[in-house]
Amino acid sequence: MLFEFAAALFGSANALLPIYARDILQTGAWGVGVLRSAPALGALIAAAWLSRVPIRRNGGIYLYVGFAITGVATAVFGLSHNLVLSIAALMVSDRRHG
């Protein structure tokens, strides 16, 4: 619960997507749409994968690793100047709750 609280407290990058798409990635409204849909596509892929290969043991380890990967992906998104890398980072960092 502490990890979820920390993630919710610091929020996500979704509020800054229009500014990020316009000023850093030099895309228009279609770029914002693609960036906004990337976390949902990542969640869909993860749900499909987990329905095929469920986690049966050591769930805590997966939780810690997933939290670390989410943090790294958020940092990669923040430092990226490439649209494809930004989309991939947002697909990995599904943080739509903030």
Q: How confident is the model at residue 98 (pLDDT cuts 50, 70, 90)?
A: very low
Q: How many domains does the chain have?
A: 1
> What residue type is assigned to position 80 of the chain?
S
Whether pTM exceeds 0.85:
no
- Is 35 contained in some domain? yes
- 56-64's contacts with Cβ under 8 Å and 24+ in sequence apart are 63/3
- Is 68 contained in some domain? yes
- Is 33 contained in some domain? yes
- Is 46 contained in some domain? yes
Residue 38 CA to residue 57 CA, distance in Å, equals: 29
CB atoms within 10 A of CB 41: 14
- Is 76 contained in some domain? yes
- Is 39 contained in some domain? yes
Structural domain including 59 reads: 2-6+17-92
- Is 97 contained in some domain? no
In the prediction, which pLDDT does 14 show? 74
Sign of CA dihedral 21, 73, 12, 87: positive
Q: What six digits make up the tokens of 88?
A: 């991939």
